[in-house]
């Protein structure tokens, strides 16, 4: 992963997200999904360099399903959210300990989506 300093625009967005969420996020990860064939597999965020108290996710562009699934659950123990452009999702506290999440493939999505993920570093 390539690390870059935040641009002024991304810092402004981070400041707005911090104000909305009542947090002090200082790490920003940008993901681009070109269409519904791009996805992220079921996972939980467990990077040792970030604090696990909360992660915020800002969606821009195409609407996509964001799926949460209980760790260790079998069958259909999941919840789907349709994240539209401008939606802000906050995964609070120990969410990463109990749940996994994914943005699954979707053949119906033909447009791009940018996802900005905000975290707190442990530095």
CATH number, position 33: 2.60.120.590
In a domain, 2, yes or no: no
The answer to whether 13 and 116 are in contact (CB under 8 A) is yes
Query: What is the span of the domain harbouring residue 98?
Result: 8-121
Q: Model-level pTM?
A: 0.87
- The Cα 102–Cα 14 span in angstroms is 23
The answer to whether 96 and 45 are in contact (CB under 8 A) is yes
- The Cα 117–Cα 114 span in angstroms is 10
In a domain, 1, yes or no: no
Domain count, the chain: 1
Q: pLDDT of 79-95, one tens digit each?
A: 999 999 999 999 987 78
Q: pLDDT of 55-77, one tens digit each?
A: 999 999 999 999 999 887 776 67
């Amino acid at each position: 992963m390539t690390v870059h300093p935040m641009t002024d625009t991304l810092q402004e967005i981070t400041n707005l997200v911090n104000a909305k969420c009542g947090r002090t996020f200082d790490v920003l990860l940008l993901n681009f999904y070109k269409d519904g064939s791009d996805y992220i597999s079921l996972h939980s965020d467990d990077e040792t360099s970030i604090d696990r108290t909360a992660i915020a996710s800002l969606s821009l562009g195409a609407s996509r399903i964001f799926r949460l699934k209980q760790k260790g659950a079998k069958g259909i123990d999941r919840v789907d959210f349709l994240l539209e452009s401008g939606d802000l999702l906050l995964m609070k506290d120990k969410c990463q300990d109990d749940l996994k999440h994914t943005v699954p493939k979707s053949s119906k999505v033909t447009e791009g989506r940018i996802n900005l993920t905000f975290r707190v570093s442990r530095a």
